[in-house]
Amino acid sequence: MSSENMISAKSISLRFDTEDSVVNALQNVSINISRGEFVSFIGPSGCGKTTFLRIIADLERPTEGEIEVNGMTPEEARRARAYGYVFQAPGLYPWRTIAANVRLPLEIMKYSRAEISERIQRVLSLVELNGFEKKFPWQLSGGMQQRVSIARALSFDADILLMDEPFGALDEIVRDHLNLQLLKLWLKTNKTICFVTHSIPEAVYLSTKIVVMSPRPGRIIDVIDSALPKQRPLEIRDTKPFIEIAQRVREGLRKGQSYD
């Protein structure tokens, strides 16, 4: 793994000024993410993990601090289509077929026809959905819809994949399956992945780096570099190193928690 910085954030803060109060969504967040890493952001709701992802994506602007995405400002990175973003909901258009949904960003980015159909085939096979091109979203299960959404985010070959609780709405069996698939996909494509979750096993299973966050104000409590091997069968979750990392994540979450 090269140590080249893909995302580097220096003392990022973001305040939302509402009429009766000031919300510190993020306070003094600094982190470096190298090319090819799989980084999970974990923490309770309100800890700013999604907000941080949105800052990387230029969907929010920080009030303080500096951030570089692939050597550019977030806005430049967004314009250069440096990342694919997978949202909590699949966000598929009901009036478009699966192929047409995957085609959407490619049409917007004005790829040629030949290239579009080649890419649709390639990314749909990456998420194991060949043969579903002509189906409509409502004909697919929730898990399959989310896979389409991942295929769509991969279609334009961005180096970074930002994923905001993509499997949060799915049941645990489907989730396990998709985690396995996502790892395979990551090994195959060597993308840099930022993954927001509030599931400890998911975070430990997937990541090379786990960022534990806490709310009010949103900040980083702990950054854990995982020593687990890149090849991870699901059974790795019962091994000692896995359980140790999970324990450290849990401790971090407890430290940041103030149940008031």
Partner 1 sequence: MTRSFLPITTIAVFILFFWYCFSIVLNSSWAYDRASRNSQTLTFKELVYDTWSQKKPKLPAPHQVFSEMWETTFNKNITSKRSLVYHTWITLSGTIAGFLFGTILGIILALAIVHDRATDLSIMPWIITSQAIPILALAPMIIVVLGSMGFTGLLPKAVISMYLSFFPVVVGMVKGLRSPEILEIDQMKTWSATKTQILFYLRIPRSIPYLFTSLKLGIAASLVGAIVGELPSGAISGLGARMLAGSYYGQTIKIWSALFAAAILAATLVALIGLIQKIISRRMMLQL
Contact call for residues 134 and 102 (beta carbons, < 8 A): no
> Which of 136, 142, 180, 236 is close enough to bind partner 1 by CB under 8 A?
136
**Which amino acid does the sequence have at 141?**
S
Paired with 222 in beta bridges are 212
Q: Is 89 in the site for partner 1 (CB under 8 A)?
A: yes
Q: Smallest distance, Å, CB 203 to partner 1?
A: 23
State the binding string over 160-199 for partner 1 (x if CB under 8 A, else -). ----------------------------------------
Helices and strands (H and E) in the chain: how many: 8, 9
Q: Smallest distance, Å, CB 51 to partner 1?
A: 13
Q: Smallest distance, Å, CB 109 to partner 1?
A: 7
> Which of 84, 143, 218, 256 is close enough to bind partner 1 by CB under 8 A?
84
Q: Is 65 in the site for partner 1 (CB under 8 A)?
A: no
Residue number with CB closer to partner 1 (96 or 216): 96
Q: Smallest distance, Å, CB 110 to partner 1?
A: 10
Residue number with CB closer to partner 1 (23 or 104): 104
CA distances from residue 21 to 18, 54, 64 in whole angstroms, order as listed: 5, 22, 19
The set of residues, in sequence order, having a beta carbon less than 8 Å from that of 42 and lying 6+ positions away, is: 49, 196, 197, 198, 199, 200, 203, 210, 211, 212, 213, 249, 253
Q: Smallest distance, Å, CB 91 to partner 1?
A: 5
Phi-psi sector, 110: left (phi>0), alpha (psi -120 to 50), beta:
left
> Which of 7, 39, 58, 211 is close enough to bind partner 1 by CB under 8 A?
58
Contact call for residues 1 and 36 (beta carbons, < 8 A): yes
Among 60, 58, 57, CA closest to 25: 60
| H or E element at residue 184 | helix 172-189
Contact call for residues 204 and 234 (beta carbons, < 8 A): no
Considering only the stretches 88-96, 200-208, 218-226, 251-259, report the one whose residues sit in contact with partner 1 under the rule CB under 8 A.
88-96
Residue number with CB closer to partner 1 (25 or 246): 25
**Number of shown-chain residues binding partner 1 (CB under 8 A):** 24
Rg from Cα positions in the chain:
18
Q: Is 111 in the site for partner 1 (CB under 8 A)?
A: no
Q: Smallest distance, Å, CB 239 to partner 1?
A: 37
Residue 101, class by beta-carbon neighbours within 10 Å (0-12 exposed, 13-18 middle, 19+ buried)? buried
Q: Which residues bind partner 1 (CB under 8 A)?
A: 57-59, 78-79, 81, 83-85, 87-89, 91, 93-95, 104-105, 107-109, 136, 138, 156
